[in-house]
Structure 1
Amino acid sequence: MTLTLLLDLDDTLLNTNLESFIPAYFQALARELAPQIAPEIMFRALISGTQKMNESEDFSHTLQDVFDAEFFPQINTPHDLLETAIENFYDNIFPGLSGLTSQKPEAKPFVEWAFSQGYRIAIATDPLLPRKATYHRLRWAGFEPEQFELVSTYDHFHFSKTHPAYYAEVLGRMGWPDGPVLMVGNDMERDIRPAQMLGLATYHVDDESASKSGPEAGARGKLSDLRLWLESADLSALIPSFKSRESVLAVLSAIPAAMNGLTCRIDLAAWAHKPTPDDWALIEVICHLRDTEREINQMQIKLFAEQSEPFIPRPDTSVWASQRNYLHENGLSALKEFNDARRETMDLLKECHD
């Protein structure tokens, strides 16, 4: 049984003290951009952009899209005019902030042990920073980004860690692993409670000795105790349960978010590629999801809302790919239509609940 580990970074794998690190980070960025932007204007725009990212529940826009749409109009400067200065900051200035952090001596031995067990590992750090910044911080912790199956950053994720949908998006990007999943982090409000709302087992990293309790309550203890805790744990008890209303809505949001992230950089030829003659191409999968959403899922929700014992017909959708000639549709257009259809479905569900 393969365990999937979702590991927080700051103050879990890396001693960071965000209350000191974030102000120093903002001040360093303000100094670098001072020739183009007054620091007080930039601070307001940074805070406002970060708040918008934390609030966003839009699975069709990355957190970078959300931040840029808030930040650049406020500073009244196009992104293109700042791109060189921003890249120089993350390449040459940001690494100098490493002195505000320190390695956790127990982190690297634990991760190496976890890899030796065949565990799948994602770095589930709050995706509020650019990829370069997150990769620098991983290296400060003693790791290389390429070691991990996934590292969440703001350019390809759609939710912050305040939302259960973030954790569902992580799993979606990893192909929805079948086995047990454990979220490990130090922050109750961003690491533990949202993961539990999705239905994941959690391990709260703090200074107390490790204690095992039920998956719903989670476990807590030092990072140095986590290996022994896992060695004695019943991994079957860590299999997620996606049954609550919050969990269902999070998964519904995360599916298009993960698909948007996975397909954003593929070329046009890849949309119609079939791994084998019997497989469906990506464009066929997207079109099938879109039409199923519109013609089946939404109809079923309406019937349940209107009738106490509805009869729900289920057509043979396996023939749609050939009948409807999905291979000749435009992939990006079909994906956008699926996003729109999923949004309509979620609106229907929320109306039914209200």
Structure 2
Amino acid sequence: MIKAVLFDMDATLLDINLTAFMGAYVADVSRILARISGKPTLAFGGAWARGYLAIANEVRTDGLTNLELFSATVERLTGVPVADPAIADAISCYERTVLPRRRGGLVGARPMEGGIAAIERAREMGLAVALATNPSFSQDCIRARMGWAGIADMPFARVSHMGNSTRLKPRARYYEEFVSALGLAPEECIMVGNDARRDFPHPDIGMPTAYVGHARPGRAAWSGRMSELADALPALVDRLNLAG
């Protein structure tokens, strides 16, 4: 029985040039860390990239959160303790006060057509809704992008971020941790996402995915545009419930 719908965010609920956003974000944070530490700005871009590679490593065996491993990696490479409260507070302040104004230009962030309607339809059906965005950013950074998507005030049962997740998509462990925190099993949830690789748990854990990207993956329980999902959701849930 389907009890929840999990939504990806970037290119699913949020129309965004993610490459442009990443470039602007890393450049901003690098300048902050350079001012704090006295080190060159260029010292941080590569370290930031290495931090992302560390948390995305498919053969990870640690029990650290993504934030803990990311921070430790950046500190090892730069000597700057980014987890120190004073430094973490400076980055958090930027993410809460400056980053929300960085949606324009090449970033071009705006709500995805049909995204809010799909969330509201799921809630009308009595289903829980949760934001299963790839947890490669801090909670404050994700909150800023939620504002761009027009979903900051939505009553999500859970929002994933670096600090509450120990793996990234598409690792099954990420999805298992996420649904366990909701008190649910994978087969009781529908994942909605646009990424044919990341939004399908690997290995398969029995969680159906509604695919809203440009491809038509055979393993999708439903494929179409985000603008079509709200109308399609009742029939999709009925079909999955009958099959279960």
Q: Same fold (TM over 0.5)?
A: yes
- Residue 159 of structure 1 is matched in structure 2 by 167
Q: Point out 4+ residue stretches in structure 1 off by more than 3 angstroms.
A: 56-59, 177-180
- Residue 18 of structure 2 is matched in structure 1 by 18
* 1:1-354 alignment runs, 5 A limit: 1-35=1-35, 36=37, 37-55=39-57, 57-58=60-61, 60-79=63-82, 80=84, 82-99=87-104, 100=107, 101-144=109-152, 147-177=155-185, 180-192=188-200, 194=201, 197-207=204-214, 216-233=219-236, 234-236=239-241, 239=244
Q: Deviation per CA, 1:220-242, whole angstroms, max 9, x where unpaired?
A: 11012112322223132575xxx
- SS of the residue aligned with 1:230? helix
Bigger relative contact order, structure 1 or 2, given CA contacts below 8 A and separation 6+? 2
Residue 222 of structure 1 aligns with an amino acid whose one-letter code is: R
Is contact 2:51–2:70 with CA below 8 Å preserved after alignment? Answer: yes
Query: Could you say if the C-alpha distance between residues 218 and 96 of structure 1 is closer, same or farther in structure 2, counting changes exceeding 3 Å?
Result: same
Is contact 2:117–2:230 with CA below 8 Å preserved after alignment? Answer: no
What TM-score, normalized by structure 1, do the two folds share? 0.61
Is contact 1:63–1:157 with CA below 8 Å preserved after alignment? Answer: yes
Identity %: 27
Is contact 1:106–1:224 with CA below 8 Å preserved after alignment? Answer: yes
CA apart distance, 1:196: 6.8
Q: Deviation per CA, 1:182-230, whole angstroms, max 9, x where unpaired?
A: 11100111113x267222111111257xx8x98x443211012112322
Residue 92 of structure 1 aligns with an amino acid whose one-letter code is: T
Residue 129 of structure 1 aligns with an amino acid whose one-letter code is: F
Unaligned runs of 5+ in 1: 240-354
Instruction: State the alpha-carbon separation in 2 of the partners of residues 70 and 189 from structure 1.
Output: 26
Is contact 1:2–1:120 with CA below 8 Å preserved after alignment? Answer: no
- SS of the residue aligned with 2:163? coil
Unaligned runs of 5+ in 2: none
CA apart distance, 1:108: 1.2
Is contact 2:179–2:186 with CA below 8 Å preserved after alignment? Answer: no
Instruction: State the alpha-carbon separation in 2 of the partners of residues 34 and 59 from structure 1.
Output: 30
Q: Deviation per CA, 1:245-270, whole angstroms, max 9, x where unpaired?
A: xxxxxxxxxxxxxxxxxxxxxxxxxx
Residue 28 of structure 2 aligns with an amino acid whose one-letter code is: A
Query: Could you say if the C-alpha distance between residues 121 and 71 of structure 1 is closer, same or farther in structure 2, counting changes exceeding 3 Å?
Result: same
Q: Which of structures 1 and 2 has the bigger CA Rg?
A: 1
Kindly tell me the number of residue pairs found equivalent between the two proteins. Answer: 234
> Aligned-pair RMSD on alpha carbons?
2.4
Residue 13 of structure 2 aligns with an amino acid whose one-letter code is: L
Query: Could you say if the C-alpha distance between residues 218 and 28 of structure 1 is closer, same or farther in structure 2, counting changes exceeding 3 Å?
Result: same
